[in-house]
A and B are shown apart, each in its own frame.
Chain A
Amino acid sequence: MLRQIFVVSALNFKSLKSRFWQSMVIVVGLAATIGVMLSMLSVSAGMHDAYQRAGDPNRAIVVSKGADQEAQSAIARSQAPVIADAPGIARGGDGKPLADRGIQVGVPVLRKDGSKGFTTMRGLSGNVLGVRPELHVVQGRMFQPGKRELMVGVGAQALFQHMQVGDKVILPDGQWPIVGIFASGNLMEGQLIGDTETLAAALHKTAYNTVLVRLSSPDALDRFKKALTTNPALSVTVERHSEWYKRVGDQNTFGLALLGYVVGAVMAIGALFGCLNTMYSAVTNRGREIATLRALGYGAFPVAVSVVLEAMLLSVAGALIGAGIAWALNDGKQNVFGNSVFYLSVSPAQIKLGLIWALMVALLGGLFPAIRAARRPVVEALRAT
C-alpha cells in the first residue's frame, strides 16, 4: 500500500511540471493568504511579546482593589511602607526590601512621522535595578533620586522626536533634561522614567499608582499576597507581575489579533476554492492516466492519497513563501501603535500556525477531488477523451 502511494505520488509530482501554472494557483493563493495573515499578526504578536516580557514571575504588583490598569490604581502614601514591610519581599545589598513605589502618567510625544501621540512616563523609586534587573543604561547615565531628570527607553529614542540625551521634556514645573538612554527588552523601552517623588511633586500626584516588589522566590507570592489581603488597613489587589502583564497584553492586543485572523480566514476560504478548482482540473485532466494505473492494479486509496499529498505539497510551499515574505518584511522592525513601542514579530510559532492553516486548506481542497478521482469507474475514464 505504502509503496503504491509512493509510486502514484512520485508520478504525480513528476507531471507537476506540465501543470506548472495551474499548480501555481495554489502556491500563490496560500502565499498571499499566509503572507498577509502573518504580517497582520506580526503587529499583535510583537505587541503581546513586549507586554509579556515586561512582566516577571519574580515580581508582584500591588494595585488598589479591583483596578485592572495601573492608571486606575491609587495607593495612598501611608500604605506604601506597610506594603514594603510585608513578608516575601527580596532584599537588596543594603538590606532594604526591594519595593518600588511607582507612579505613571501619559506624556505627549511627537512621533518621527510628525503625528502627535502619548507614551507612558513612570516614576521609579528605591533600588531601581534591584527590582528591575532587566533594565540597563546604554547611553548617558541613570537618573538620580531627588533630581529633576529623566531617562528614555531605546524604543522611544528611536521613534519619537526630541528624545536624545541632552534634550528637554516639558513638565508642569519646567524643563527636565534627558540624562540617559536605557534598554530593557520589553514594553518599557518605549517609555520615559524618572524619580517617583520628584515626578509626583511636579505632577501634583498625591498617591502612588502601584507598588512593585521583587519576591524573595517565585513561591513567596502566596505569603506576600496573604499578608496584604488580610491586612484590614489595606484595600489592595496583588498579582504576579507576569500574570498581570499577560492579562493586560491579552486585553490590548485582542482586537488586533482578531482582525488578523478574520482577514486570514477570508483569504484562506478564497484560497480553498482556488485549491479545489486546481485539484478538480488536475484529476479530470489526468483521468486516463489515473484509470490506467487503476487498471494496472493500483488501489483507489493510494490514488486518493496522492491527490491530497499533491495539494499539501503545493499549499505548504505557498505558505512557506508567504511566511518568508512576511518574516523578511516585518520581523524585528520597530513599530509604534497607540502608546506602545515594540518590535514586529513573525515567530516560529506563528509560522507553524500558518503551515497548519495551509495544511487544512490543502486537506479540504484536496479531499473532494481525491474522492472523485478514486471513485470514477475505470472503464468510463479510459474511454473518455
Chain B
Amino acid sequence: MKYVPLVWAAVMRKPARAVLTLLSVMLAFTLFGLTIGMNATFTELQAQARADRIFSGSRFGGPLPIAMERQIESIPGVALVASSNNLFGYIINPKNRVFIQMNDEKVPKVNPEWPITPAEWQAVRDNRRGVLVSKAQAERWHRKVGDTFSVIAPVQKKLDGTTTWTFQVAAITPDISYMTQGYMFGNYDYMDKGRLLADQGKTGMFRVKLNDPSRTAEIAEQIDNKFANSSTPLQSITEKAAFDVNNTGMDIAAVDREVALAGMFMVLFLTANGIAQAVRERLAEFATLKTIGFSDRGVVGLVFAEAAVPCLLGAALGVGLAALLSAVIPRFLPPGTGIPVPTMNVTVFLWAAICALFVAFASSALPALRLRRMDIATALSGR
C-alpha cells in the first residue's frame, strides 16, 4: 500500500496525457461492454430456453386449423399443446404498430415460468376483452389497469366487417426478458368468436410441451411428418433452436467478439506507447529507485501498476457507461425493432477485468524488460 502514492504520482505526472489515455481506454471498454454484454444476453436467452418445448408454425405461412392441437397432443411424448394467434394492427395512427398475442387457456400451463399469476390469467378469461399488458408496453402507451383502448387491425375483419377491436387492461404484469419490447396478451376466444366466420377456428402457431426433454428434436420431426401431406404442413423448431441467435444465419456472437477485440487492440497500442514513453522519459528516476535498493521485481511491479491504473479504471468506467447506455437506449428505440439489449452480468465485468489486466501486462512488458537490463550508471548520467 505504501507504493500507492508513488504509482499515482507516476500516472499523474502528465495529467492531460493520463486523462486522454483514460478516456480512450474507457470508450474501448464501453464498446467491449456493449458487444460482450450482447453476447451475455444471447447466452442467457439460451439458458432460459426450455428443452422440453417446441414451437410449431405453418410451414408455408397462413392460418392453421385449431383442431390440429388435438392431433399433435395424440403424438406419444407430447404432454400438452397450447396455441397463440397474434392480432396485428395499430393504435390510432398506422405508425403505432402493435400486436396482441391472443392465447388460449392452455398457454399458462405450457409457459408456467412467465411472471403472471393465476388470478391475472383468470382476469383475461373473465373479461373477454381483457389484456395483460407488460410494464414496458404500459409505459409506452401510458395505460393503467381498467383503461380501454382500440386496435385497428386491417387484416383481421370482425363479424360486422369493421376492423376496430376494443380491449381493456386487466392487469399490468412484469416484463419477460426475451420479449424486449414488452408484450400484450389477450384472450384467443374473444378474437376467434369475434372475427369473420371464414376465419374462425384457426390459429397462428402451437406451443408444444413434452414429457421427456431428451426426445425434443425427434418429436419435432414427428410433428412435421404427421402433417407433411396435409393442406397445412407444419414447421417445428425446438425452443432451444428458436432462441439461438445463429438462427439469423450469421454468427453474431463471433462478430461481437471481433469488434471487442479490435477495440482492445487499439487500446493495447495506445497504452503500450504511453508506458514506453513514460519509462523512456524517467529512466533516471527508475535508476535512482534501483540505486536506493528497489529490486528488479519491485521496479517492474511499479511499471505494471502504472499501466494497470488507467486500464482497470478505464475498464470499470467503460463497462459502467455501457451498462448505463443499455439501460437508457431501449427507451429511445422505436417499438418493434426487436433489437436485443446488452446484459451487464458478472461475466462481462470479469472478462473486462481480465482484458484490462492483459492489456496492462502486455503494454508494460517491453518497458519492464528494458528497466531490468538497464545499466544504472548510464541511466543516472542521463546519456
A residues lining the B interface (CB < 8 Å): 21-22, 24-25, 28-29, 32-33, 35-36, 39-40, 43, 66, 71-72, 105-108, 111, 113, 115-117, 121, 159, 170-172, 174, 203-205, 255, 259, 263, 266-267, 269-271, 273-274, 276-277, 280-281, 335-338
Contact = CB atoms under 8 A, between A and B. Distances in A.
Interface string B226-262: 0011111101010001001011111000010011001
**Secondary structure call for the B interface:** helix
A174 B339 CA distance: 38
B60 A105 contact: yes
Contacts, number: 134
Interface string B26-52: 111011001100000000000000000
Nearest to B228: A170
Contact of A336 (B16, B24, B229, B249): B249
B17 A172 contact: no
**Secondary structure call for the A interface:** helix
Contact of B155 (A25, A29, A72, A204): A72
Nearest to B21: A277
Interface stretch (B175-183, B201-209, B263-271): B263-271
A267 to B, nearest CB: 6
A204 B27 contact: no
10 contacts: A22-B277, A36-B258, A113-B249, A259-B339, A263-B34, A266-B27, A267-B31, A274-B266, A277-B24, A280-B20
Interface in B295-351: 337, 339
A113 B246 CA distance: 10
Contacts of A255: 337, 339
A172 B224 CA distance: 11
Contact of B23 (A33, A267, A273): A273
B31 A266 contact: yes
A48 B23 CA distance: 35
A74 to B, nearest CB: 9
A33 B228 CA distance: 50
B276 interface: yes
Given A33-B266, A71-B61, A270-B263, A336 B250 contact: yes
B96 interface: no
A117 B31 contact: no
B231 A204 contact: yes
Given A269-B27, A270-B31, A335-B249, 4 more contacts: A32-B265, A266-B31, A273-B23, A336-B249
Given A21-B276, A117-B249, A281-B277, A29 B269 contact: yes
Interface in B12-26: 16-17, 20-21, 23-24, 26
- Which 9 A/B pairs are nearest by Cβ-Cβ distance? A270-B27, A336-B249, A273-B24, A277-B20, A32-B266, A273-B23, A28-B269, A105-B60, A32-B262
A272 B361 CA distance: 24
A21 to B, nearest CB: 6
B108 to A, nearest CB: 28
A117 B247 contact: yes
B219 to A, nearest CB: 16
Contacts of A263: 31, 34-35, 259
Contact of B273 (A21, A40, A43): A21
B241 A116 contact: yes
Contacts of A337: 248-250
